[in-house]
Each structure stands twice: as C-alpha cells, then as structure tokens.
C-alpha cells in the first residue's frame, strides 16, 4: 500500500464521518420539524418543469419568477424549451391516456391555452391566493373560472426602421403597401396580429368579426403583393438585425430586443389600432397531488409584484398586478398600456372566438400567402 | 482407428455440443422457416408502420370540433373534400411535386460527373479529396446547413458583400422558391453520389476503351456505353432524391421565408398550429399515396435500378 492510498483512505474516512455527522444533524433538525412541515405543506418534488420560450423570454422568466421560487421553496425549476405548439399534443395525449404529463406548467399564449381549456385538460386555478390582487387582465375572457391565468399583455405593433420612413413614423398599416417596401416587410406566418387591424385597414368593422372578415382578407391580399417574409418571434429580431426587413407586424418585445442589440428600431400603434393579446400560465391535469400543489405555488409566486416586476422588465410588457412599474424606456409607450385610455386604440378579441375560428382564419391567410 | 481425446480438440467438442443443441432447439424440418425468422425484424417494423398508418387513416375520417378541440366520433370524408377543393393544398402539392422533380433532375446532372470523376480518377489524392467532400456534409445536419445558407446568401451575407464590392446593390437571394430548390439540391447531392458510385464502379473501363478503339468519340461513348450501363444507379439515386425532396420540411421552412411551403409544412401546420389532426392525417396519407404512385410510375417505366430485388446474376 503506497502513501497516496493511505492518505486517500484517511481522507475518505474523515469525509465520511463528517458527511455522516452532517446528515445526522440534518435528519435531527428535520426530524423535529417534520410532522409540522407535513401538516403544513405537501412533499416537495426535486424540481418542477416549466415549458417556456427561449432567448430573452426564458431569461426573463428565470430571473423574475423561477429563481425567486427556488430561493423561497428550495425546489429547482427546469425550463423546457419545447415549442408551445409541439408540447400541446404531448400534454393532451398524456392527459387522455392517464399518464403524468411531461411538464408541470405551460407558459402559453392565451389562445393556445384556451384550446387546452376547451379540451378539458387544464387544472382549475381559481383558488390561488394572489389572484385577489390581480387586475381583470388576469382573467381569461370567455371561459368559466381560471383554467388559465393571464400573466401579462402585449401589443402587435408596427415595428419599423426609422431610416426607411424619412417622413416620420407610419400613421397607418397602409404604409406597408408602399412599393419601396416590397420584399422588406414581415408578418407572422399564421397571420396572427394582423387579422384585426387588417379588418379596419380594409374598410371593415371590428363588430363584424368573425362573421364578415372579407375586408381583412382583401387587405392581406394587398400585403401579399408586397412579398412579405413570414416568420415567428425570433425571426423578426434576426431579420431586423440582418437588414432583411424595414417594417413588421410583431410583438413589441421582439422589436425591443433588436433595439437592445444596437439596431435603430422604433414602433407605433397606427390609427387602425393594434391587436392586444395575453399570455398565461396553466397546469395540465394528471400531476401527483404534491406536484400540483407546488406548481400552483409557482404560478401564485408569478403573480407577486416582485416577480412580475423583474420578469416583465425583461419582456417590456404590462403585467396583471397593480404596482408593477414600466421599464424606463417604455414609460408612455403605446405598446405598454397602463391606463384605460391607453387601450383606446388596442383591439382585443376573446380567446374563445379566436380559437373557434383559428383553423378557418389560418387556412385563409395561408391560401393568400402561399398562392 | 479409434481417435484419442487428444486428437479431438475441445473446440470441436464445443461445436458438436452447439450443433446438437441447435438440432434440438430448431429441428431440421423447421429449416424452411429460417428465411421468415430472418425477416421477422423487418416484418415487425413494417407491421408497426402499418398500424400507425391505420390509426392515421382512422383519424383522417374525423373532423375537429373547435368547441372542444376533440375529434368527432362519427366518420366523414370532409377532410378529403377540403384537401381536394381548397386552393391552398393544390398550390402546396403542385409546388412540392414540381420542386421534387426539378431537384431530382438537377441533382442527378450534378452528381453524375462528380461520381464519374471520383470512381475513375487514377489520382488517389483527388479521390480522397472527393470522398471527403462527399462525406463531410453528412456530419452536418440539414437544419445547420440551411442556416449556413442564410449566412452566405443573406442580405448582409458573403455573396451580397462580394457583389457590393463591384457596386451591385444587395439582391434578395433567400426566401423564394429558387432558394429552396438550391438548398435541396445541395442537401441531396451526397445521397445521389453515394447511390451512383456503385453503379459507375461496376462499368468496366475496358468497355469505354473498346468503344474508343472502335472510333467512338467521348460523346458517343458516354451516350451509348456509360449512360445505359449507369441507368440502374441513376434510377436508384433518382428515386431516393425524389422521395426525400417531396417530403422535405426543413429547407422550405428555413429558406422559403414562410411563403414556399411544401406538403410536409402544411401537415405540420395542421397537427401543431391548428391542432386539426384529422386534416393533418388526411394530408399525410395523400402525401404517402402521391409518393408511392410516383415511385411506382418510375419503377414501371425504368425499373427499380440499384434498388431492384433481383437475384445475383450467374
């Protein structure tokens, strides 16, 4: 036996004794408190899994909600960056088959979440204590109770590169039809965000949604003539940064992200208005009781002023808890509505109407854009 | 003469034991079943695929109820009616089929000289270089390669920067149909070369030398000797490229700018965006049918090429 082995054994024995002593002490402490702890709260899981969007979105959630939750409860939070549309069928299948779903909480668009609520795979969240201190925005429109809790709102603004608009900011969505912008504009690839302003820009009325949306389709057909790029959230930031586009209908967060990266970008709410929508958190059915409890606690924590302040500072979006202050760069910004008059030019259609008509609207938008 | 134990090695005894065990476990009368036993894994896999197709077929006859986001209990052909009557699907199907045909032809035209040079060159270094260039793309996934083209062909990409040096304004090289086809050809080229290489290697060089010695120039040698003998490779490579292009998802999604969808993108949209599994299943089955018909047509016209299941020539 050489010296290194002897030292190793001594060290290992010492480490073992030390570890055992610590474990014993810890057990003793927990042993004293255990009955009380069990009486108060269900067993803590090692981690809970939150589905989230990547990039600055998940960074903001982590900084604002997840880190605080872990500090408070000791439960680790894992962020699953599976695309929201792709996690949905997995969760639906798990619930239908009586399996434990792959995530504890889905951070989702309210429209997508409403589909899950209509399907009956969401847990009821109406008992959360912090709901009492939220604004009306937290309540999903057109649904009973709280199968989803909206956590913030956002505006699909007209984002633009000021150098492409030398006469000043565009006043109307019709500015996108300027021939010099051909091939230089971008929309969401499912048309989301553009349907309702297009209804107004096309000469129609919002009250006619969903019955008669021909004006919207007419305006979108005109936009098709401009050969728009069609993408998703990260694409807009990239396209602005790479000089591919000069204007887009996108969530203000994406334009703000490009601006943070040094690109000269501005945004506005044109006279026809902008779509206002919400994202939310929901819990799929089928979780063990203790994990359901802690998933609810996570959402409850997300509804505190402290969590919302940090989370939504990162996203640049208005929250659902009074007292959250806008970031310095978004004070009085039209994409950050805080007062009732700020909503005057924003268009909000219930998630239920949107989900019930999504397939038809999607097909019509695609038929125009793929033609 | 009776053998001593030393003259009958232990390994032979083990083999005898194993033979006896096999004879017991699998009697000679079951010998005819051996081919089926060898086929069992493949049959299992195909069986699983068939089960999946049956389930997809079942869902394709159900419609989505947007008030509950569940599929209907009753059967209907509504999804098939939509697939055949809505202009969106006709546009996407036409684009996919036409794209697959163009990509197949262009890929074969580019792959042929590459493969010919690779198998015929006497220069070992050049052959290694061509082989390395062939296999390198396999280590890079399709999505990464597509993003590579975004960097090269983008508005501020290398090509436009080079054009800018000679005073040319940036050109829109991405997010259109030619960009998708270009990406697909680049992706399919190694597959085609791999399929063509065995066929071209099998053509004896002496045949070409004989044709030339009989007075044929290289064009006549190529058209009357090389090309006919390379047909099995061309057909095999063509079938692989055709089917892979027809069902591709990533290139249209990344290089098409959202307005150049292929059928696979339309299927994805139905499954994951509108949650309409019924229509998605219908489109998936129609894609399988269209692909199978196309492959069947090619095989009927030209044979199965190197994919043929013929017996070895004697």
pLDDT tens for the 314 residues of chain B, in order: 555 556 788 999 999 999 999 888 888 888 888 888 899 999 999 999 999 999 999 999 999 999 999 999 999 999 999 999 999 999 999 999 999 999 999 999 999 999 999 999 999 999 999 999 988 888 888 999 999 999 999 988 999 999 999 999 889 999 999 999 999 999 999 999 999 999 999 999 999 999 999 999 999 999 999 999 999 999 999 999 999 999 999 999 999 999 999 999 999 999 999 999 999 999 999 999 999 999 999 999 988 776 665 554 44
Are the C-beta atoms of A113 and A85 separated by less than 8 Å? no
The verdict on A357 touching B (C-beta cutoff 8 Å) is yes
CA A107 to chain B, closest CA, distance in angstroms equals 16
- Cis bond before residue A210 (omega within 30° of 0): yes
By Cβ distance, the residue of A242, A357, A367 closest to B155 is: A242
Q: For A47-153+278-330, which CATH superfamily applies?
A: Periplasmic binding protein-like II (3.40.190.10)
- Inter-CA distances, B138 with B132, B141, B144, Å: 10, 7, 11
Q: CATH fold of A155-276+343-370, please?
A: D-Maltodextrin-Binding Protein; domain 2 (3.40.190)
- Does A225 have pLDDT greater than 50? yes
pLDDT of residue A9: 39
Confidence band of A10 (pLDDT split at 50, 70, 90): very low
This prediction has a pTM of: 0.85
Q: Report the residue from A86, A243, A359 with minimal CB separation from B274.
A: A359
pLDDT digits (tens, 9 = 90+) for A22-61: 444 443 333 334 434 445 789 999 999 999 998 889 999 9
How close A115 comes to chain B (CA, Å)? 6
Q: Which pLDDT does position B2 carry in this prediction?
A: 56
Domain with CATH 1.10.3720.10 in chain B: 82-307
Task: Say which of A115, A359, A370 has its CB closest to residue B92.
Answer: A370
d(CA A359, nearest CA chain B) in Å: 5
What is the rounded CA–CA span in Å between residue A231 and residue A37? 49
Q: Structure tokens of A133? A: 């201190």
- The SS3 assignment for B28 reads helix
Cβ contacts of B174 on chain A, cutoff 8 Å: 244
Show the tokens assigned to A334. 């039209």
| Superfamily of structural domain B82-307 | MetI-like (1.10.3720.10)
Q: Which residues on neighbouring strands pair with residue B127, listed in sequence order?
A: none
Please report which helix (H) or strand (E) contains residue A326, including its range: none
Q: Which of residues 86-145 of A touch B (CB under 8 A)?
A: 86, 88-89, 115-116, 118-120
Q: Are B198 and B118 in contact (CB under 8 A)?
A: no
Pull the structure tokens for residue B244: 């892979």
Q: Find where tokens 């239920």 sit.
A: A352
**Helices A214-224 and A351-370 meet at what angle, rounded to 10?**
40
Nearby residues of A30 by Cβ (< 8 Å), 6 or more positions away: A37
* CA–CA distances in Å: residue B62 to residues A97, B56, B280: 19, 10, 11
Shortest CA distance from B272: residue in chain A: A85
- Spatial CA neighbour of A51 closest among A225, A281, A235: A281
Query: Strands, DSSP E only, in B135-197?
Result: none
A343/chain B closest Cα distance in angstroms: 28
Question: A362 and chain B: CB distance < 8 Å anywhere?
Answer: yes
Please check the confidence at residue A71 and state whether its pLDDT lies above 50.
yes
pLDDT in tens, A96-141: 999 999 999 999 999 999 999 999 999 999 999 999 999 999 999 8
- Mean of pLDDT values over A349-361: 91
Nearest CA in chain B to A189: B258
Per domain, the residue ranges of chain A are: 47-153+278-330, 155-276+343-370
- The pLDDT value given to residue B5: 57
Q: Assess whether the region A47-153+278-330 and the region A155-276+343-370 belong to the same CATH fold.
A: yes
Asked whether the predicted pLDDT for residue A12 surpasses 80, the reply is no
β-sheet bridge partners, residue A155: A276
Average pLDDT over residues A141-165: 95
Alpha-carbon gap, residue A283 to B26, rounded angstroms: 55
Which pLDDT score, from 0 to 100, does residue A257 have? 86
Residue to mutate among A244, A282, A357, with most B CBs inside 10 A, is A244
User: Phi and psi for A185 in degrees, rounded to 5?
Assistant: -120, 160
Q: What is the nearest CA distance from A277 to chain B, expressed in angstroms?
A: 17
């Amino acid at each position: 036996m050489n010296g290194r082995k002897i030292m190793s054994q001594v060290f290992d024995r010492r480490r073992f004794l030390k570890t055992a002593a610590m474990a014993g002490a810890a057990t003793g402490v927990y042993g004293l408190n255990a009955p009380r702890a069990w009486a108060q709260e269900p067993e803590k899981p090692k981690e809970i899994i939150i589905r989230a969007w990547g990039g600055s979105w998940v960074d903001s959630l982590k900084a604002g909600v997840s880190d605080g939750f872990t500090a408070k409860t000791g439960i680790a939070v894992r962020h699953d960056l599976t695309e929201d549309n792709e996690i949905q069928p997995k969760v639906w299948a798990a619930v239908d088959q009586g399996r434990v779903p792959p995530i504890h909480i889905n951070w989702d668009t309210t429209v997508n979440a409403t589909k899950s609520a209509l399907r009956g795979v969401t847990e009821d969240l109406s008992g959360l204590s912090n709901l009492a201190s939220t604004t009306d925005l937290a309540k999903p429109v057109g649904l009973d109770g709280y199968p989803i809790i909206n956590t913030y709102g956002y505006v699909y603004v007209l984002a633009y590169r000021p150098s492409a608009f030398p006469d000043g900011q565009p006043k109307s969505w019709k500015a996108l039809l300027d021939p010099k912008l051909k091939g230089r504009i971008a929309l969401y690839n499912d048309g989301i965000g553009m349907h309702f302003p297009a209804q107004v820009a096309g000469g129609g009325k919002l009250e006619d949604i969903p019955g008669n949306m021909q004006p919207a389709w007419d305006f979108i057909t005109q936009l098709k003539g401009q050969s728009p790029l069609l993408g998703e959230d990260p694409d807009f930031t990239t396209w602005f940064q790479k000089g591919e586009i000069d204007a887009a209908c996108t969530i203000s967060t994406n334009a703000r992200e490009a601006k943070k990266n040094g690109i000269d970008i501005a945004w506005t709410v044109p006279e026809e208005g902008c779509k206002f929508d919400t994202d939310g958190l929901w819990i799929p059915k089928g979780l063990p009781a203790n994990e359901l409890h802690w998933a609810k606690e996570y959402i409850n924590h997300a509804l505190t002023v402290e969590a919302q302040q940090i989370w939504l500072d990162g996203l640049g979006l208005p929250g659902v808890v009074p007292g959250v202050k806008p970031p310095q760069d978004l004070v009085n910004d039209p994409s950050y509505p805080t007062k009732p008059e700020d909503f005057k030019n924003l268009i909000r259609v219930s998630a239920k109407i949107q989900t019930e008509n999504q397939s038809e609207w999607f097909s019509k938008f695609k038929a125009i854009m793929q033609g | 003469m009776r053998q001593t134990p030393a003259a009958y090695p232990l390994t032979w005894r083990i083999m005898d034991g194993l033979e006896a065990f096999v004879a017991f476990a699998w009697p000679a009368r079951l010998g005819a079943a051996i081919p089926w036993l060898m086929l069992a894994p493949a049959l299992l896999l195909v069986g699983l695929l068939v089960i999946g197709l049956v389930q997809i077929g079942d869902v394709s006859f159900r419609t989505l109820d947007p008030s509950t986001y569940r599929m209907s209990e009753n059967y209907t052909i509504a999804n098939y009616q939509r697939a055949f009557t809505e202009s969106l699907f006709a546009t996407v199907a036409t684009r996919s089929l036409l794209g697959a045909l163009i990509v197949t032809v262009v890929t074969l035209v580019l792959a042929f000289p590459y493969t010919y040079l690779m198998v015929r060159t006497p220069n070992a270094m050049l052959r290694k270089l061509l082989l390395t260039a062939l296999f390198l793309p396999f280590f890079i996934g399709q999505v990464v390669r597509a993003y590579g083209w975004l960097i090269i062909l983008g508005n501020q990409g290398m090509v436009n920067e080079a054009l800018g040096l000679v005073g040319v304004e940036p050109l829109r090289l991405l997010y259109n149909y030619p960009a998708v086809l270009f990406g697909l050809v680049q992706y399919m080229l190694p597959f085609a070369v791999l399929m063509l290489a065995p066929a071209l290697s099998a053509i004896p060089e002496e045949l070409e030398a004989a044709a030339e010695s009989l007075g044929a120039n290289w064009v006549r040698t190529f058209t009357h000797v090389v090309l006919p003998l390379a047909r099995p490779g061309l057909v095999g490579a063509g079938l692989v490229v055709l089917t892979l292009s027809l069902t591709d998802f990533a290139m249209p999604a990344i290089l098409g700018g959202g307005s150049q969808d292929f059928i696979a993108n339309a299927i994805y949209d139905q499954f994951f965006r509108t949650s309409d599994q019924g229509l998605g299943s219908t489109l998936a089955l129609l894609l399988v049918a269209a692909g199978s018909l196309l492959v069947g047509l090619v095989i009927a016209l030209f044979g199965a090429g190197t994919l043929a299941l013929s017996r070895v020539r004697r």
